[in-house]
Amino acid sequence: MIAAMRLPAADRELVQIVDASLARAAAQAGEWLVCRPGCTQCCYGAFSINQLDVARLRTGMAILSAADAAAARDIRERAWAWIAEYGGDFPGDRDTGRLGESADERERFEEFATEAACPALDPATGLCGVYEWRPMTCRVFGPPVRMAGDGGADGLGHCELCFHGASPEQVAACEMPVPHELEAKLLAESGAEGETVVAWALVAEP
């Protein structure tokens, strides 16, 4: 599997900042933000995760294994099934789960497993089995977010189910700031490189 890094203590600060930012954006958005437990719009389609996400997921799986071994086993079984079904087309190293970095591999990833359910999604409840330890992409999905490098009000993106009827100004007023600099700093300090997808992070031991 992709080489693991130890979850830095400062990741707790990163998560707290992001979760607080989400809470403020949600309060500002009110009914425009329709994200609720059981809504799984954001749980389909593969996306890349960095080494902080991997370490957080593996830490969470270790905690879950100790608290509820059956639940952790179910998640790992879904992850292995996901890899078996989609791994043949994975644009990277199937043995380690590391995403390729060439232009061709990145382009292929845009069309990879676009309809696949995340293996952390419990099909019976519509809930995430590792919600507390979910990747940053999951933590910022829903409210208007300006991704690194975007500029201007039109650089904001949000869940397509949300903000129906809101003006661009109203959307902008609900922007969720994301501490990209802190995340990049923690990654740089760790020296950990490479990206993967959720399935490979879930099957490996921490």
**Has residue 3 been placed in a domain?**
no
Question: Containing domain of residue 112, as a range?
Answer: 11-203
Q: Mind listing the pLDDT tens digit for each residue in 7-50?
A: 899 999 999 999 999 999 999 999 999 999 999 999 999 999 99
* pTM for the full predicted model: 0.91
**Has residue 1 been placed in a domain?**
no
**Has residue 2 been placed in a domain?**
no
Q: Mind listing the pLDDT tens digit for each residue in 83-121?
A: 999 999 999 999 999 999 999 999 999 999 999 999 999
**Has residue 6 been placed in a domain?**
no
**Has residue 118 been placed in a domain?**
yes
Q: Mind listing the pLDDT tens digit for each residue in 65-86?
A: 999 999 999 999 999 999 999 9
**Has residue 123 been placed in a domain?**
yes
DSSP the chain: -PPP-PPPTTHHHHHHHHHHHHHHHHHHHGGG----TT--GGGBS---B-HHHHHHHHHHHHHHHHH-HHHHHHHHHHHHHHHHHHGGG-SEETTTTEEP-SHHHHHHHTTSSTTPBPTTEETTTTEETTGGG--HHHHT-SS-EE-TT--SGGGEE--TTS-TT--HHHHHHT-----HHHHHHHHHHHT----B-HHHHHHS--
Based on the structure, what is the number of domains in the chain?
Answer: 1
**Has residue 5 been placed in a domain?**
no
